[in-house]
Amino acid sequence: MDRTAEGEAMGGMGGSEMGVVAGIVLALLAVAAGWWHLRRAPAVLRATTAASPVHGDDSEPVEDAADPAVPVDAADPAVLARDLLGRFHAVALGGKPVVMRPGHAEVVAGTVEVLEHIEARPHYTPRRPNLLPQLMRKVNDPDASGKAIAAIIARDPALAGNLLRYANSALYRVQSKPVESIERAVALVGTDGIRQIIAAVLVQPVMGAGGGVFARFAPVTWEHTLLSAAAAADHAKLVERDDAFAAQLLGLLHGLGATIVTRVVRDQYARQRGLVANASLAAGLLDQRAAPTACRLARKWELSGRIIQALDEQALEDAAAMSALGRSLRFGRLAGSLALLSRQGRLDPSCALPALAVVEPRSASTPAIWERLRHGVD
């Protein structure tokens, strides 16, 4: 597995950096305004949400009307991508008009400063198993024995505990006697089960319940993350003929990055007494910072260069300029948004396949991936 040896310089925020932060504030205002406009205006999908009042910072209620039925804009997949992710953020954070008050710029500056050094903030990030590189190499080695894999897992309590829980679950357990041997557990769950355990230990929700615009974020975003990871894995396997586990891990990492960004934003708002959190500003920070935050974690955890490259590529709009894993992650994120919106009653499911054909026009496997998302992902 490739390992990146280069770190990133860390330091305080000087005058030039404060100028960068000011630019980010202006950019986020534009992103937030565009996000709200996309959500309010007729877009490329048919929404089925009933109208409901929403409130912004010290603003009057705004009616959240359903969008009318319109055709998919096959000529501009970038517009489709922005619309889908904007609608997902609307579900996760609520729909709020952009009303900026004093203190929001400080929230942005504080958030950027924390995220630029997130690898040095263990409070915000889950622990990486110390033996992860060795275990991933062994699991991806077709000649590796179950005994060798078990020996590595036995040396890490978190991995061993999760393995035994999986092996004793209804999915794997075949007799009444509990599974207590690591080697037997490895034989029961198999390679695919071990990969799931690695992902579960690496990437798990690190954000507790919050109030205001953050009240629904953790459960909704984690659902979106699981859907995105499953779709990315299927896309890598069926379309790109690439490593499905790497694509699944990418989907989970990106979701973890989004969760960390939102937790940092929430904590920065908590430092501004009396300031109501602005959902549009949070959505703008998510758009700009989720993938880079996940990328920093991937470097810290010594994941492969392909993983890091795919996360970096999420800033690109042209799929042709991405690597195979980058395209799978992009497809997974958008397919996950479609599935979540459909489950939440915010999208007519009949719009999903035409939208996915815009995102991925090269493959006939898209309907099968969509059916798995709708019915097969737990």
Structure confidence by residue, pLDDT tens digits, 324-351: 999 999 999 999 999 988 888 888 888 8
- For residue 63, the cross-strand partners are 53
Helix 324-343 vs helix 217-235: crossing angle, to nearest 10: 130
Residues in the chain: 378
Q: How far apart are CA 262 and CA 299, in angstroms?
A: 20
Of 209-218, 246-255, 352-361, the least confident? 209-218
Q: How far apart are CA 321 and CA 331, in angstroms?
A: 14
Interior CA angle at 361 toward 256 and 317, to 5°?
A: 50
Q: How far apart are CA 248 and CA 218, in angstroms?
A: 19
Q: Where are the extended beta strands (E) located within 330-371?
A: none
Average pLDDT over the chain reads 75
- pLDDT band at residue 50 under the 50/70/90 scheme: very low
Other beta carbons within 10 Å of 46:
18
Structure confidence by residue, pLDDT tens digits, 226-266: 889 889 999 999 999 998 888 988 998 999 899 899 889 98
User: Tokens in use for 293?
Assistant: 């935050």
Structure confidence by residue, pLDDT tens digits, 8-26: 333 333 444 434 334 444 3
CB of 44 closer than 8 Å to CB of 69: no
| Torsion angle of C-alpha atoms 334, 335, 339, 340, degrees rounded to 10 | -30
Structure confidence by residue, pLDDT tens digits, 94-143: 655 445 566 888 999 999 999 999 988 888 887 776 777 788 788 878 88
Phi, psi angles (nearest 5°) of residue 63? -75, 130
Please report the pLDDT score of residue 100 as a whole number: 55
CB of 354 closer than 8 Å to CB of 84: no
pLDDT reading at 208 higher than 70: no
Please report the pLDDT score of residue 13 as a whole number: 39
Closest to 101 measured CA to CA, from 288, 280, 289: 280
* DSSP 8-state secondary structure symbol assigned to residue 242: S
Please report the pLDDT score of residue 25 as a whole number: 40
pLDDT reading at 166 higher than 60: yes
Taking the alpha carbons at both ends of the chain, their separation in whole angstroms is: 30
Q: How far apart are CA 266 and CA 282, in angstroms?
A: 9
Closest to 227 measured CA to CA, from 316, 78, 341: 341
Q: How far apart are CA 235 and CA 328, in angstroms?
A: 6
pLDDT reading at 48 higher than 70: no
